[in-house]
Structure 1
């Protein structure tokens, strides 16, 4: 399986497995089935259960079309809304264990999802041939929407242990220090831990210092360096995050 090296804001490369074209297609099909199910349900609700078909009587073709578009509007915004809410995933992507990520190390923004959504129109043209061809010739399996938004779709199917995740071993009687960590996302914590582990491996004090400063700046924390070293601080932040989010063993 091919990989992509994502360069984080601390200039550390983290390797992720690229989602295969097959996984992306299956995720697309699952999402498509969900959207079809919604359309069937909403039309059955509108015309059969609520019996609101009479509202269309006497309306011109454009008005009827506008009502149909309004009823099915959730289908059109399905990908951009759910990817924003689920941190780069839709139900289909979640089932296939794939996720949209920003290739510069930051979490994809709503604007990135909008770009992917708009260019989906081109990517799915001609029965999706354009998107498939683009992914085939791209080394990171990126379609036009991915390339334009600077994103990629990665696989989360790795066989990993706790040292490769955002999880930290914490004792039952653990007492957290920084409640502000709840302002971080899973993606933020993953980047923090990946950078920290790599920096520890090569004893890169500069990266550890930059990472510590970045966390303090983001969370608006003031830490007395005489009472807690930078390494201790980062370790506490990771444990606190696990404590408050319930992500423990």
Structure 2
């Protein structure tokens, strides 16, 4: 496990721990088990519904019907679960972008397109099921990609596999249950009055950076970090606040959530 120091969009440095290899492996194994459970369940359902017509159904039709959910599982879960599959969530790791914020849909899509390990499992299942020599050859190709991924994990400073390098993402360790797994959403009352309407000049990525600073404060009470962040934000927005740095940043999150939902 290596510690990374990432420069956020506010030029504030945050420290993150990269996910250890064994955590990546456990997360991958859990996801593979989920895929296998789905596969065998889908086969049973398929056979029960079409038992009398199974012989007339083309093997490639079965392949296409079952392939989509299996192959889309990593992409859909990472997008909807803030950079985590079920396996990643259970072992406590998460995908973020290289600036410390949440990864974008396009980043998730790029890393999904280069997921050699998951692709290899899917192809192996259908290669064995359909006994197709072309699919067996494809396994060799995905195996080469998997070896390349492993080399990238070992050889890159941020422990990035090929998909992460292309997408500009990293896989980090989440240190507590309620830190990076949360979004920037904060519920506010209908009669809430924002103190800093200028906050709408910031982007979701900026707010994610502020949220990550607050998460870091909850772990290490790094008040100089809060002061630097508050000063930087006030300079960008051209405002001054009488609140302390922590209260100011928390108010910004509330204001942003309230104004963005109106």
- Residue among 80, 85, 104 paired with 1:109: 104
**1:216 equivalent in structure 2:** none
- Residue among 51, 54, 61 paired with 2:52: 54
- Change in Cα spacing, 1:103 to 1:57, as seen in structure 2 (3 Å) is same
**2: distance between equivalents of 1:82 and 1:67?**
23
**1: distance between equivalents of 2:154 and 2:229?**
39
Contact 1:14 1:194 (8 Å CA) reproduced: no
- Change in Cα spacing, 1:136 to 1:45, as seen in structure 2 (3 Å) is same
Alignment of 1:60-75 (within 5 A): 63-75=58-70
* Number of equivalences: 217
Which runs of no fewer than 5 residues in structure 2 stay unpaired? 121-141, 183-190, 218-222
Contact 1:102 1:150 (8 Å CA) reproduced: yes
**1: distance between equivalents of 2:228 and 2:204?**
26
Q: State the SS of the aligned residue for 1:72.
A: helix
Contact 1:146 1:152 (8 Å CA) reproduced: yes
**2: distance between equivalents of 1:226 and 1:117?**
43
- Change in Cα spacing, 1:239 to 1:165, as seen in structure 2 (3 Å) is farther
Give the Å deviation of 1:89.
0.1
TM-score by length of 1: 0.70
**2: distance between equivalents of 1:212 and 1:87?**
28
Give the Å deviation of 1:45.
1.2
Contact 2:82 2:181 (8 Å CA) reproduced: no
Q: Provide Cα deviations, 1:105-157, integer angstroms capped at 9, x if missing partner.
A: 33211111111111113896328322222101112111000111010000013
**2: distance between equivalents of 1:86 and 1:203?**
27
Alignment of 1:96-245 (within 5 A): 96-121=91-116, 125-126=142-143, 128-157=146-175, 176-178=192-194, 187=208, 190-191=211-212, 193=214, 197-201=223-227, 205=231, 207-210=232-235, 233-238=248-253
**1:82 equivalent in structure 2:** 77
RMSD: 4.1
- Change in Cα spacing, 1:91 to 1:227, as seen in structure 2 (3 Å) is closer
Which runs of no fewer than 5 residues in structure 1 stay unpaired? 167-174, 214-224, 244-249
Contact 1:120 1:145 (8 Å CA) reproduced: yes
- Change in Cα spacing, 1:32 to 1:187, as seen in structure 2 (3 Å) is farther
Q: Provide Cα deviations, 1:5-51, integer angstroms capped at 9, x if missing partner.
A: 22211111111000011110110000000000000111111113x3x
Q: State the SS of the aligned residue for 2:114.
A: helix
Give the Å deviation of 1:90.
0.3
- Change in Cα spacing, 1:227 to 1:36, as seen in structure 2 (3 Å) is closer
Give the Å deviation of 1:242.
11
Contact 1:56 1:64 (8 Å CA) reproduced: no
Q: State the SS of the aligned residue for 1:14.
A: strand
